[in-house]
Chains A and B, each alone.
Chain A
């Protein structure tokens, strides 16, 4: 069985672009949730989100020819993160025996263009071919746009996968890429997630579901995973990519590995498209499969990077799942919720949290869960609320549970030579 290691990481998030800025913000408990500026949200019930402010997207367009004409924000964020990951791994573009695996939420339907097309600017009130031929801009971009452009830029020979399992997409992309390298299908993968739902239909659609916090006046504390007063999650945008390689290939290239990926598991709730089962059975199954795949026992896990969205039902279900798998020991495992600072980056969140897990192994620091001041009695585990904590362990579990009931869990380990 081949061993798979992480040799490159790149990140673009509401709390920092680039690994150093992201990690500094995350470990000091800085919130990236702000009043929305990407569009005028003043008439919407939700007017806050985790915006990536530290990235000059015009500069990205200038520097990377493949995205010069791209409007879809997640593609631009994705390229910024992927470029960092490629540089970090010291990988040269060329004909790479590798795959691209990108997790994304959903395609952007440019609502403004749809409305303008339908009304024909007042000329003809129907969506017809004649109006279409006049349109200068697409109504939507295909979901695989980022993956294909990345393959073109860096020379990955494929296959090119675009995973759309909602909030689990980034984690599933990395988990699946890990499986393919371990099986010898390829030697290297650029895998991760990118998403930006911070557009009118994204924010409006999720607010209709009642999944979002409407605490517009206090954005920094609006996302409160595991807190008794939590109202809902906050949408964010971002991207994270990692380079996964077979250990022997990485050693041959002379690059150091950040961590080893040990195991991956996925499952389906088969319960409801909107809510997780209260017993967390789908999450339990994904975690158990990941541990089994890694060849470790529950007592070997030293830290959990949780899904932790800040929605009332999700946080309880995840807590129940952790207790089911880890028993009494679940009270001893430090658990963190990155989304308390970044917001929920949907298709990117699993990848961002995977990167945070790698950085915990690399730096020996567990980031805190911020805004957790009044613990929910039903969420009574150690969520690291007081601030960052030193980490002396060697094994981390990263959880991602998708809207609709798709779950993923990944086990990482400090690499001992």
Chain B
């Protein structure tokens, strides 16, 4: 009989950051752009947004992807979200300096991620839609079977299935270890990072690659977001959340192991706080309690207090007010706050990893140190409070 492994608590470190966002692919440059007040808002390139409440989106420059995903044959099988994910994972692993085979076996690498809903741009199914409509413009099942399927490429399934981005990352990087994939909102992206931490803590993996990807800058996504009321702030106030596309992955490992291999440690995870708000299934939370609970859980018993907040606000007037109220309630309202989504746009399933990745980089590089001056501890609280039920706060400490 083999002995069961006991779970041991440990400090989990971030040793690699890979972000592919509408504001760039280099964490330092993204933070610099944020500090200068730049945003990635632009008119969508793939469709006319004039009929939608939200007129702008955040798009990733193709050159960011082309440089990282060189296998064009394989790329043709991938949806946009998968392309972004593969690029981000490559950046994260490059950044970590990890070499599979030398530093660890690919079987000892966990892959945990989140994907979003509505990841398929309308253009991918446009031919199918055209061929499946009758003379009056209504859907016809017979036409769908006789004509629609014939004009549809078989690879459509690889672009629709929500687990494909993670599978492509595993194929491109050779990752073979334990894995999980969640869907569809920012909270699930945060849970993915948390599960990456757990994989290390329980000794299930030597290394975890954790993050998420999403693509909400196309018209089918705009339809869904508008239907769910996520653009209502634009109607009421002329401003609101801006959806975008992007991906991010973090390389996580035990701090002691990272130090041994002289890796760059961006930060350590000190605690994770969580709360569910079941009334926010497809929208913003309307009560401050769940957000405050997540933050309090994130700071409970922690030896350090945060000196800076990486907030979850995204421009939705009502949603942002709730988070501000929650910050007030837990005594963090006076801390300097960085609102990543206001600049990068809301990357949904990739929003949590983007926020955590930038906070980790900021802690390591001293970016925003001036803003946090006077605080006794180099720690940050990162709120992953986007639309959806799951609310997660990470307390990060400098290495």
Contacts and interface: CB of A to CB of B under 8 A. Distances in A.
Interface of A: 1, 39-45, 105-107, 109, 111-112, 114-123, 125-133, 135, 138-140, 142-145, 148, 151-152, 157-166, 169, 172, 176, 179, 183, 200-201, 204-210, 265-274, 281-282, 285, 289, 291-293, 295-297, 402-406
A270 B4 contact: no
Contact of A106 (B51, B144, B161): B161
B155 to A, nearest CB: 9
A162 B171 CA distance: 23
Contacts of B148: 204
- 6 pairs of A and B residues whose beta carbons are closest in the complex: A43-B145, A129-B51, A119-B137, A404-B167, A128-B51, A158-B276
Interface of B: 1-7, 47-53, 77, 106-107, 111, 115, 117-118, 120, 122, 125-126, 128-129, 132-133, 136-139, 141-146, 148-149, 152-154, 156-158, 160-164, 166-168, 170-171, 173-185, 188, 191, 195, 198, 202, 219-220, 222-224, 226-227, 274-276, 278, 281-282, 388-390
Contact of A404 (B47, B133, B163): B163
Contact of B111 (A119, A143, A201, A268): A268
B309 to A, nearest CB: 22
A132 B139 contact: no
A281 B158 CA distance: 22
Nearest to A179: B202
Nearest to B387: A142
Interface SS majority for chain B: mixed
A289 B174 CA distance: 18
Contact of B157 (A44, A183, A205): A205
Contact of B138 (A109, A116, A143, A270): A116
B392 to A, nearest CB: 8
Interface SS majority for chain A: mixed
Given A165-B180, A405-B167, A204 B144 contact: yes
Given A120-B137, A129-B50, A129-B52, A270 B163 contact: no
A27 B261 CA distance: 55
B136 A403 contact: no
Contacts of A139: 118, 220, 223-224, 227
Contacts of A285: 107, 176
A205 B149 CA distance: 8
Contacts of A206: 157
B181 A128 contact: no
A111 B50 contact: no
Given A204-B149, A209-B154, A144 B183 contact: yes
Contact of B141 (A39, A107, A210): A39
A115 B138 contact: yes
A166 to B, nearest CB: 5
B73 to A, nearest CB: 12
Nearest to B174: A270
A273 B164 contact: yes
A163 B181 contact: yes
A172 B51 contact: no
B168 to A, nearest CB: 7
